[in-house]
A and B are shown apart, each in its own frame.
Chain A
Amino acid sequence: MILFENVSKTYENGVVALHDVDLFIDKGEFVFLVGSSAAGKSTMIRLMMKEIEPTSGNIVINGVDVCSLSRREIPFFRRTIGVVFQDYRLLPNKTAYDNIAYAMEIVGASRREIRRQVPNVLSMVGLTHKANMYPNELSGGEQQRVSIARAIVNNPAVLIADEPTGNLDPETAKGIMELMDDINRRGTTIIMATHAENIVNTMQKRVIRVESGAISRDDKKGGYSYAN
C-alpha cells in the first residue's frame, strides 16, 4: 500500500520536481509510471525509498509514515521494499549468488535459510547455472535478473523499479516483464517507471502519467499514449 498526500519536492537548486501529488496504490497492484524525461518519475521513486525527503506532504508505505522515520530506522524500512534500478547496482566483488545472499545476511538470516532461499530465487529468475559468476561476467539482462532476485529474496510487500528494462533489448526486456508479472501474481505490489511504450501497451496494467511534476492521467487498464 502506497499513499502520497499533497507531496511536493523542490530540489536544493530550486528545481520543482513534484508539485502537490496525490496518489494511492493498493496492495497487490501493478502500476506503471510513465511520462517524458524530467517529468518527476525518478523523484517519486526516490521519495518512496526515502533516498530523499519531500519538501512538503505525507508519504505512507505499508502503513509506515516514511517522513517520520529516523535515520536508524531507515535500513529496517528499506528491507520491506525491494528496489531495482536501470543500472542493476550489483556489488562488483560478489558473485550472483553472494549478491543475493547479502540481502539476506543483512536481515540476519541464518546460513540454512540462505542456502535454501537463494537457489529458489535464482531458479525463479532462470540463472541457476550462472550462480557463481561475477556481475562483469554477466550480460545486462542477466545482471538485471540478479538484481530482481536480490530485490525479492526477502519477500518484500512492494517492489519498486526505475526503468528496469532501460538498458535492455526488447526481447530481453520482455523476459524481465514476464518475471515481474510473475512476482506480482504472487502478491507483491509493483511500481515501475518506464519509457518502454510497447511494454506498457501489452501489459494492460494501471498507468499513471506524470507531467511536469504532477499526475496528468491515471488509467486502470491503460496504454502508454493518449490515443489508447
Chain B
Amino acid sequence: MPIRNFKRFVSEAVSNIFKNGLMSIASLFITVACLFILGVFLVVTINLNYISKQVADQCQIQVYITREASNTGQIQNISNQIKTIEGISDIEFKRGEDTFAEFKAGLSEEERASYNGLPDNVIDDSFKITLHDISEAGAISERISTISGVSRVENRQDMINIVYSITNAVRHVSVWIILIFMFISVFIISNTIKLALYARRKEINIMKYVGATDSFIRWPFMIEGMLVGIAGAIIAYFIVQSCYSAGVAALNSTPTMSLLTLRAFGEIWHMILIPFVLVGVLIGAIGSALSIRKYLKV
C-alpha cells in the first residue's frame, strides 16, 4: 500500500468514525464490555497463579519427634528415613528450644509474660519439610507418621485443600465463562459492524461502481475498526484499573486475606494493557474485514 493511500485511508477512517458517530459509539461500547470481561479473566488468573504460588511456598509439613528419640540420638536416623520418601524437596531440623524462642519473639510483651514460667524445652524437636507438590501433603504426612520416633505430624492440609479447590474451581469456571463470553462478544461485535455496514452498503456499492478495488474500499473500514478497537482498549484498561484498585483495597481489609497477598496493579498493568490493545485491534480489523466481505460482492 503506497504511503499516499495510507494517509488517505487513515483520514477517511477518522472522518468516518465521527460521521457515523452512533455506530462508532455502539461498537466502542461493545468492545469495552468485551475487553472488560477479558480483563476480569486476566486479573483473576494472574492472582490465582500468584496465590497458588504463595500457597505452594507455604507448603510445609512440621514433623515432631518424641523426646525419647531426641535423647537417644535417633535424629539423623529419622531424617534419613524421611529423605527416602519421594516428593520431598527440603528437610530442616529445628530444636524445640529454637521453635519456642521464635514463637515467643512473635508475641507482645504482655503475652510473652504468661509463658515465662515454662521451661525452654517445652516444645519437642521437629523437622520442617518442604514438598515438591502440595497435593501430596496428606499421603506423605501419613507415611512419615509411621516412622518410629515420630510423635506427630502437622500439616496445613485443611487450608491447602480449601485454597486449592477454590483455585481449581475458579480456573475451570472462568475458562468456560470466558469462552462463552468471547463467543458472544465476537458475535455481537461482528453484527454491530454488519449493521453499521448495512447502513453504508449503498456507499460501498457506489465505490464499486466507480471502480474502486476491494482493498481500496476495505482498508478505511478496517482502520476504522482498529481505531475503535484501540480506543476501546484504552477505556477498558482504565476501567479495569480503577475497579482492580478498589477491589484489592476492599479484599485486603478482610481477615481471610491476611495470609495471602494480591498483586499490585503497578506490577501487572502491562499484562492487561498489551492484550487489550492486541485483542481490540484484532477484533476491529477482523470484524470489519469479515463483515464487509458480503457487501463487496457487487
Residue B211, interface by CB 8 Å: yes
Bound form: Cα–Cα A111–B216 in Å:
17
Residue B206, interface by CB 8 Å: yes
- Taking the closest CB of chain B, its distance from the CB of A60, in whole angstroms, is 18
- Please tell me if the beta carbons of B203 and A102 are within 8 angstroms of each other in the complex: no
Label chain A's interface by main secondary structure.
loop
Residue B212, interface by CB 8 Å: yes
Report chain A residues within 8 Å CB of B212: 75, 102, 106
- Taking the closest CB of chain A, its distance from the CB of B115, in whole angstroms, is 83
- Taking the closest CB of chain B, its distance from the CB of A44, in whole angstroms, is 16
Report chain A residues within 8 Å CB of B298: 51
Bound form: Cα–Cα A75–B213 in Å:
5
- Please tell me if the beta carbons of B211 and A107 are within 8 angstroms of each other in the complex: yes
Bound form: Cα–Cα A91–B19 in Å:
12
- Please tell me if the beta carbons of B216 and A106 are within 8 angstroms of each other in the complex: yes
- Taking the closest CB of chain A, its distance from the CB of B25, in whole angstroms, is 17
Closest Cβ neighbor of B209 among chain A residues: A83
With A91-B207, A106-B210 given, name 19 new contacts (CB 8 A). A51-B298, A75-B212, A77-B211, A78-B210, A83-B209, A83-B210, A89-B202, A91-B203, A91-B206, A93-B16, A93-B19, A102-B210, A102-B212, A103-B211, A105-B8, A106-B212, A108-B2, A110-B4, A150-B210
- Please tell me if the beta carbons of A78 and B211 are within 8 angstroms of each other in the complex: yes
| B→A interface (CB under 8 Å) | 2, 4-5, 8, 15-16, 19, 202-203, 205-214, 216, 298
| A→B interface (CB under 8 Å) | 49, 51, 72, 75-79, 83, 89-93, 102-103, 105-108, 110-111, 150
Q: Among B203, B210, B213, point to the contact of A93 (Cβ < 8 A).
A: B203
Nearest 9 CB-CB pairs, A to B?
A78-B211, A79-B211, A106-B212, A75-B213, A75-B211, A89-B206, A93-B19, A103-B210, A106-B216
Q: 6 pairs across A/B with beta carbons < 8 Å?
A: A51-B209, A75-B216, A78-B210, A91-B203, A93-B19, A150-B210
Say yes or no: A49-B210 contact (C-beta < 8 A), given A92-B203, A93-B19, A110-B4. Answer: no
Report chain A residues within 8 Å CB of B206: 89-91
Bound form: Cα–Cα A52–B16 in Å:
30
- Please tell me if the beta carbons of A78 and B8 are within 8 angstroms of each other in the complex: no
Q: Among B2, B4, B202, B213, point to the contact of A106 (Cβ < 8 A).
A: B213
Report chain A residues within 8 Å CB of B209: 49, 51, 78, 83, 89
Report chain A residues within 8 Å CB of B205: 89
Report chain B residues within 8 Å CB of A75: 208, 211-214, 216
Report chain A residues within 8 Å CB of B19: 93
- Taking the closest CB of chain B, its distance from the CB of A206, in whole angstroms, is 25
Closest Cβ neighbor of A49 among chain B residues: B209
Most buried by A among B8, B205, B206: B206
Bound form: Cα–Cα A83–B207 in Å:
12
- Please tell me if the beta carbons of B16 and A76 are within 8 angstroms of each other in the complex: no
- Please tell me if the beta carbons of A106 and B203 are within 8 angstroms of each other in the complex: no
Report chain A residues within 8 Å CB of B202: 89
Report chain B residues within 8 Å CB of A78: 208-211
Bound form: Cα–Cα A222–B179 in Å:
70
Bound form: Cα–Cα A168–B216 in Å:
33
Report chain A residues within 8 Å CB of B213: 72, 75-76, 106
Q: Among A89, A91, A106, point to the contact of B211 (Cβ < 8 A).
A: A106
Closest Cβ neighbor of A83 among chain B residues: B209
Closest Cβ neighbor of B20 among chain A residues: A93
Bound form: Cα–Cα A72–B214 in Å:
8
- Taking the closest CB of chain A, its distance from the CB of B202, in whole angstroms, is 8
Bound form: Cα–Cα A72–B16 in Å:
26
Bound form: Cα–Cα A150–B206 in Å:
11
Say yes or no: A76-B211 contact (C-beta < 8 A), given A93-B15, A93-B16, A93-B203. Answer: yes
Bound form: Cα–Cα A90–B8 in Å:
19
- Taking the closest CB of chain B, its distance from the CB of A156, in whole angstroms, is 9
Bound form: Cα–Cα A157–B19 in Å:
35
Report chain B residues within 8 Å CB of A110: 4
Closest Cβ neighbor of A79 among chain B residues: B211
Closest Cβ neighbor of A109 among chain B residues: B4
Bound form: Cα–Cα A111–B19 in Å:
24
Closest Cβ neighbor of A77 among chain B residues: B211
Bound form: Cα–Cα A107–B214 in Å:
13
- Taking the closest CB of chain B, its distance from the CB of A211, in whole angstroms, is 27
